[in-house]
Structure 1
Amino acid sequence: MKKAVLLSVILLTTGFCEDLFELGVEAYNKGEFDKAAKQWQKACDDNVARACHNLGFLYEDAQGVKQDYHKAAELYKRSCDGGFVGSCLNLGVLYIKDRGVEQDYNKAIELYKKACDGDIAEACHNLGVLYALGKGVRQDYRLAKGYIFKACALGFQDGCDYLNKMIAADENDEKNEIIIKTMIKTINHLKQID
């Protein structure tokens, strides 16, 4: 009996937290950013990772709250640690740009890998670019192409464009060029069908 009551309380609390998140979304869509911030803060306090992410975005872009990159980084970290991999991408960007956290390419790469593993296309692209440029890692075109190809396959157009530039610059990649360009055309065609 105690287990049933405890489960009911947990389910009710979870539903309430999700309702706070949705109320925040509604407020945000109406342009009521300060109200959205309050709803997402309550939901974040109850460990709703998406709410922490959205609240971090508000702090990063100064919507309804005073701009605070440090607070945004804390919220993205909490959300990333909570399993919302989109926040791992955002936190990685803050590490690259030296906003709210000290610039740290190694930490950004770790976060981008986590987000890319969760199929966040922009994270795969960013990771590939770091490998292509040798920023924070030893330069590795093979790994770079792999990450950027994944970004393209996930529908990230910048990834497809960057991959085309890499292929055009690499004269030794003629066999792969035909295959990859065909795959990019297929991906773009599939995006048009959706």
Structure 2
Amino acid sequence: MKKIVLATMLASLFFSGMAMAESKTAFSLPAIEKSAEGGNAASQYQLGIKYESGEGVEQNAQKALEWYTKAAEQGHAEAQLNLALMYDMSDDIDRDAEKAVYWYNKAAVQGVSLAQYNLAVSFDDGDGVEQDHEKAVYWYTKAGEQGDSDAQYNLAISYDEGIGVGQDHAKAVVWYTKAAEQGHADAQYNLAVSYDDGEGVERDGSKAVFWYTKAANQGNRDAQNNLGVMYDEGDGVAKDTRKAVEWYKKAAFQGNGLAQNNLALNYYYGKGVKRDLKEAYAWFSVAVENGDGDEAMLKRTARALNAAQLAEAKALAASYIAKYLDE
């Protein structure tokens, strides 16, 4: 599972412990340092941000770590999160997954959704803590209920596959929907598949097309291929083989073997595109290399070409394999 890095927060948002003044010098570096050295957790946190980002001071990860620690030990939730992130992901200090989990937990208990999500991922992967899918589900739920789309998506996966919780496709659809409505491309794709297969929800081809389109427009190659199939078959949408070819191409260019094979078939039969056996041969070849091609159709296409055409088709196939092989 993928963890999310916190974007640096605006310094002015967390000065609750410092007296606000009209003067622009109130939040100057000396003022922050004085307040931090006096034990103010919010200022310690801000000083940590400055040293981590190099804002107004020379960047110094070790000093950032020290100031985050001081604030975190006083219970400052955002400092606890940033401290965890440094132990987890910083390029400037030695990684310590156990300390990351410790501080994620501190911040998560205080309701920081990103900490809850990253803690869930740690439990899911057994990274810095003994693997525990049930605890992962618990924390995904906490973060998901706060609107974290990645947590919602991972929670849906957990329900869909029965990992850490009883398998429940209907609940998976609920959580896919929450994430999908926030623009999460993978959730949009999985939600489309749910509608396409009628798993966890009544089958609805038009809704499948709707969500495939959302994900496909964000570049999800599997959604692009499946959307091509929907247009090819007129499933949930008016049949349009030209649009099918357009979507197959988008997915094929991204290395999707199924789309490459589908595109080859359309070139072979002249569906939605002018018949072109050399293109068909080339795309069948790439699809076969990717493990999704129809070898019988590749041979059939080769037999339909004369020697000169086959040589050209093989050269085209070699160039496509170099460009579009799924790495």
Contact 2:255 2:326 survives alignment (8 Å): no
Report the AA paired with residue 162 of structure 2.
A
- Cα distance change, pair 89–192 in 1 and its aligned pair in 2 (3 A): closer
Instruction: Give the unaligned 5+ runs of structure 1.
Output: none
Cα 1:63–1:153, aligned 2, differ >3 Å: closer, same or farther? same
* Aligned equivalent of 2:322: 189
- Using the size of structure 2 for normalisation, the TM-score is 0.52
Partner of 2:124: 28
Whole-angstrom distance in 2 between the partners of 1:39 and 1:75: 14
Q: Look up the equivalent residue of 1:104 and give its one-letter code.
A: D
Deviation for aligned residue 1:157: 1.8
- Other structure's SS at 2:154 match: helix
Q: How far did 1:4 drift?
A: 2.7
Partner of 1:17: 113
- Matches of 1:43 and 1:80, distance apart in 2: 16
Residue 164 to residue 68, structure 1, CA distance change in 2 (3 Å):
same
Does 2:279 align with 1:177? yes
Question: Residue in 2 aligned with 1:40?
Answer: 140
Distance 1:89 1:20, change over 3 A: same
TM-score w.r.t. length of structure 1? 0.84
Q: Please tell me the residue identity of whatever aligns with 1:83.
A: G
Identity %: 26
Aligned to 1:137: 237
Report the Cα offset of residue 77 of structure 1. 0.5
Q: Which has the higher contact order (CA 8 A, sep 6+)?
A: 1
Task: Give unmatched runs, 5+ long, in structure 2.
Answer: 1-11, 17-41, 43-76, 82-111, 284-314
> Offset at 1:57?
0.6
Query: 1:112-127 alignment to 2 at 5 Å?
Result: 112-127=212-227
Alignment: residue pair count: 189
Offset of residue 170 of structure 1: 2.2
Distance 1:147 1:176, change over 3 A: farther
Counterpart of 1:43 in 2: which secondary structure?
A: helix
The structure with more helix, counted as a fraction of residues: 1
